[in-house]
Amino acid sequence: MAVENLEVFNQEMKNYAETLLPRQFIAFHKKVHLLLAAGVIKDTRADTGRMRGGWNSSIDAPDITDYGNLDDNDQGSETYKRTFAAMAKLRAFANSYLTNPVEYAIHWEFGTDKFPPDAMVQKNIQRVQGIVEK
């Protein structure tokens, strides 16, 4: 009886480790990435929309290609759609990246001696960390 229960338990744990755990990890990872990306995209200033449209979400390696996407609407919906599509391909235990290859994005993030930082990424990392820690 005890051996049978142990075998059943071991099989259940194996099933959990092979199927349920990776699915839970993927769902959590996607949620965190999408929360971060949504905030960063929304907080990115949009004059011409080039910097807001420049955000790339990718898996396994940063995508530093400037595709010339413009997204000047109030919510960054076109950029968010691309982010959502990229995250649909996420696998368990893969790395995801959010990058912006537009050359002046780093100046707006960290500021310069001529203007203060917007901190689009920094403040959203703190926001998402607060959500995850709850």
Q: Name the pTM for this structure.
A: 0.84
* Whether the predicted pLDDT of 1 surpasses 80: no
41-86 per-position pLDDT tens digit: 999 988 888 999 999 999 999 999 999 888 877 677 889 999 999 9
Q: How many CA atoms lie within 13 A of 2 on its CB side?
A: 0
* pLDDT confidence of residue 74: 67
Q: How far apart are CA 55 and CA 99, in angstroms?
A: 6
Contact (CB, 8 A) for 125 and 36: yes
Tokens representing 85 are 């599509």
Domain boundaries along the sequence of the chain: 2-133
Contact (CB, 8 A) for 67 and 130: no
- Three-point CA angle 25, 78, 96, nearest 5°: 25
